[in-house]
Structure 1
Amino acid sequence: MEVRSSYPKPEYRDVISRIEILDVKNGERRVMQEFDYLVEAPNWSPDGKSLVYNSKGRIFSLDLSTGHSFLIDTAFADECNNDHLLSPDGKRLAVSHRTWEDNRSRIYTLPAKGGNPELITPMGPSYLHGWSPDGKTLTYSGERNGAWDIYSIPVRGGRETRLTDGRGRNDGCEYSPCGRYIWYNSTRSGLMQVWRMTKNGENHTRMTVDDSNNWFPHLSPDGELVSFLRYRKEDVDPEDHPANKDVEIRLMPSKGGDPATIAGLFGGQGTINVNSWSPDSRFLAFVSYRMKA
């Protein structure tokens, strides 16, 4: 059966996607599965046995031992984008789904094995990026009255709290494993850079200072390292993170320091939008792409 797709051009049929695993210690890359269409944004399961990814508006799980994928039933949520997460205990799945009524993404949660989604963010657009280590709070980027800011909300829904102040575009928000900080990317200093704040939206600290556009900081489970996606300054507008660009996955100490490039690839949007660290902090999962002839 053909699955509806909301993806902008190039359409999902125009690319070949590879889910890869990168050993951050020795730089070795392994292709775990290749697809003849667009797939995006792997999340590693807490037990280390599978990767959750999105494609064609749906959510799938890739069994790393067999290489087989299966569809996770998200019921009416058939326009899921690349902002999705598993809960810290692995029992729940949160997705960002575009509703047909107003064409805006909203966040829902459901059982990790599939089920009926429950609406968490009535306001949209909202794009999920972080789940607090205690399992109680979600953090996400949202556009409200023309401003892109970072918000948090109780995992069962309720009143959202704005954590940034409307300066620049703020996106890619994610909790540190200790739960004290939220890392994010922002153009508040000009180019898109990696920032950190306390979980209540205070003490904003710039963590990267370079001549690049840096997106989607992801903390390793042991809290020692941060991975992020680097676009060359001349390739993109600072507020944009397009697909089909030459990009780099970079790594830096979470306490700060000079980043190092650990992988170069053709990708961008869909490569590492959400946290893709293995539970033992040894590997990163990501998606690379190749355009069809």
Structure 2
Amino acid sequence: MTDSEDTGMRARELAAGQRTVVWTATTGPGAPEPLFETSELLLEAPNWSHDGRSLLLNGDGRLWRLDVREPSGLTEIELGGVPPINNDHVLSPDGRTLYVSGMDGHLYAVPAEGGDGVLLTKGADDVLHFLHGVSPDGTTLAYVLIPRGVPGARGRLALMPATGGPGRVLDTGDGHIDGPEYSPDGAWILFNTETFTEAPGHAQLARVPALGGPVERLHTSDTVDWFPHLSPDGRHATYLSFPAGTLGHPENLDVTVRLVRTDDWSLPVHCHALFGGQGTLNVNSWAPDSERFAFVSYPLTGR
């Protein structure tokens, strides 16, 4: 059984007349700037490299490097022995290791410059794993755990050793969660959750102590909010807002990338409206200088 047959996941493709646009924006004044554009490949979920020189994006089940200084083309990163991947991928704190989520529902570690992958979730075939965070000390991975083959099963927050091994679930309430990511100081795990509302799919932003404890709501809004990402210095955060009533985090919608200061999540510093959704901001895309971040839009001809 192949990965796609196993999980039902497929690499996304651009629609007729659609293109990928990779953007960078700053915490200061000024509009986002387009960095790279293509009508040949649907790219998703930029990570900023630790040396500040490139972005890492997935597309067609593979991982690509885009030079930020001379963004003329893409270079594929070898993922030896790893099945096609989805848009849940992160870098280790030292920048030496890539952790990726395969479309077979398992997690893998690969050298950041490319090479042979190592299966981290060996034997855990009864659940799907969707990676989103690495602890600042590099020892622990935070991911979403979903029972395999159970329609409507909710995602739960789970932690496991970065070297592989069994995971453990943290209690975050009854609602579906996604996007768990450590704060820079390692004290908290941020995520989006449907725990706070009875409205179907109404995800809101929250955090929980990394060692476990009460869940704290970060912001209350009328929009459906996903994927909170803290800047390396912890002063700012980005997240993605979907229209009220949205179920999940689908593709091809009018959405908004929001930038806030972490001392006041209710007052956006900037709001960047675009046509996107799935793939726009799934993983942390902050530059190491904490002043820039990246995201992706998918404009259609005529929009």
TM-score clears 0.5: yes
Alignment coverage as a number of residue pairs: 280
2:14 matched to 1:12?
yes
Cα deviation for residue 166 of structure 1 reads: 5.4
Matched residues in 2 for 1:259 and 1:83: separation?
Answer: 28
Percent identity of equivalent pairs: 38
Matched residues in 2 for 1:27 and 1:133: separation?
Answer: 31
Cα distance change on mapping 1:245 and 1:13 into 2, 3 Å: closer
RMSD value, Cα? 1.7
Ranges of 4+ aligned residues in structure 1 off by more than 4 Å: none
Question: For the Cα contact (< 8 Å) 1:44–1:277, is it kept in 2?
Answer: yes
Question: For the Cα contact (< 8 Å) 2:11–2:59, is it kept in 1?
Answer: no
Cα deviation for residue 149 of structure 1 reads: 0.3
Cα deviation for residue 147 of structure 1 reads: 3.0
Question: For the Cα contact (< 8 Å) 2:238–2:259, is it kept in 1?
Answer: yes
- For structure 1, the 5+ residue unaligned runs are 100-104
Q: 1:272 aligns with which of 270, 277, 281?
A: 281
Q: Write out aligned runs for 1:144-163 (5 A).
A: 144=147, 146-163=153-170
Cα distance change on mapping 1:292 and 1:120 into 2, 3 Å: farther
2:60 matched to 1:71?
no
TM-score, structure 1 as length reference: 0.91
Which residue is equivalent to 2:183? 176
Which residue is equivalent to 2:145? 142
2:174 matched to 1:167?
yes
Matched residues in 1 for 2:121 and 2:238: separation?
Answer: 28
- Partner amino acid for 1:158? G
Q: Secondary structure at the match of 1:218?
A: strand
Cα deviation for residue 251 of structure 1 reads: 2.1
Tell which deviates more after alignment, 18-27 or 118-127: 118-127
Q: Secondary structure at the match of 1:129?
A: strand
2:98 matched to 1:98?
no
Matched residues in 1 for 2:301 and 2:85: separation?
Answer: 24
Q: Secondary structure at the match of 1:259?
A: strand
Matched residues in 2 for 1:139 and 1:256: separation?
Answer: 25
Cα distance change on mapping 1:27 and 1:128 into 2, 3 Å: farther
- For structure 2, the 5+ residue unaligned runs are none
Q: Deviations over 1:247-269 (max 9, x none)?
A: 11112232344131421111110
Matched residues in 2 for 1:153 and 1:166: separation?
Answer: 19
Question: For the Cα contact (< 8 Å) 2:132–2:283, is it kept in 1?
Answer: yes
Q: Secondary structure at the match of 2:103?
A: strand
Which residue is equivalent to 2:28? 25
Q: Deviations over 1:200-255 (max 9, x none)?
A: 22121000111110000000000111110001104x12xx1001111111122323
Tell which deviates more after alignment, 244-253 or 208-217: 244-253
Which residue is equivalent to 1:186? 193
TM-score, structure 2 as length reference: 0.88
